[in-house]
């Protein structure tokens, strides 16, 4: 397992070793001891979510007010997503910076986001499926959203899916009405 920090401190990409034979593939996608060694912190699990999306579905930018904040461990189990992390921690030297990682069912990477970071995913093909391991249970009163297309953030969203087909972005009404970063 390889774990490296992204350009947004507090976010890591985890690339597991894959074991393949005639039966299929085995992946160890999380190991507490290796995670704690690389990140310097434990990950306490309180909720697991699963989301299935059509190509072009854009979910986010979502975050939970900090405190309490919500850490997430995100894995694509089918298809492909562009996973985007945004630093929303006031006073952080990287406040407003974003980074992205391709999560797919080939490399089986995961992304860990610390509390205070925003998160969005864009599905790059139909039936893409992602799981979120969450450090706290969903708390609607602390849930917040930002406009994923805010020019101040300047996120470079792909215009084509994994198969080269043009993407038509689809957001929930809540995400489409989200306020700008500023």
Of 63, 73, 119, 132, the active-site residue reads 132
Please say if 63 is a catalytic residue. no
Please say if 62 is a catalytic residue. yes
DSSP state of 91: T
Of 62, 63, 73, 119, the active-site residue reads 62
Burial class (CB in 10 A: 0-12, 13-18, 19+), 29: middle
Catalytic residues: 62, 132
């Amino acid at each position: 397992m390889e774990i490296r920090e992204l350009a947004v401190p507090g976010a890591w990409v985890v690339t597991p070793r894959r074991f393949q034979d005639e039966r299929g593939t085995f992946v160890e996608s999380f190991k507490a001891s290796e995670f704690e060694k690389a990140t310097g912190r434990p990950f306490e699990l309180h909720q697991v979510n699963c989301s299935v999306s059509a190509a072009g579905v854009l979910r986010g930018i979502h975050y939970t007010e900090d405190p309490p904040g919500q850490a997430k461990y995100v894995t694509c189990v089918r298809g492909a997503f562009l996973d985007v992390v945004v630093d929303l921690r006031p006073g952080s030297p990287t406040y407003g910076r974003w980074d992205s990682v391709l999560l797919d069912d080939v490399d089986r990477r995961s992304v860990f986001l610390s509390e205070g970071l925003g998160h969005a995913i864009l599905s790059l093909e139909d039936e893409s499926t992602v799981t979120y391991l969450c450090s706290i249970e969903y708390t609607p009163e602390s849930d917040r959203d930002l406009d994923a297309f805010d020019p101040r953030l300047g996120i470079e969203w792909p215009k084509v899916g994994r198969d080269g087909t043009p993407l038509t972005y689809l957001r929930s009404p809540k995400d489409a009405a989200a306020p700008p970063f500023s």
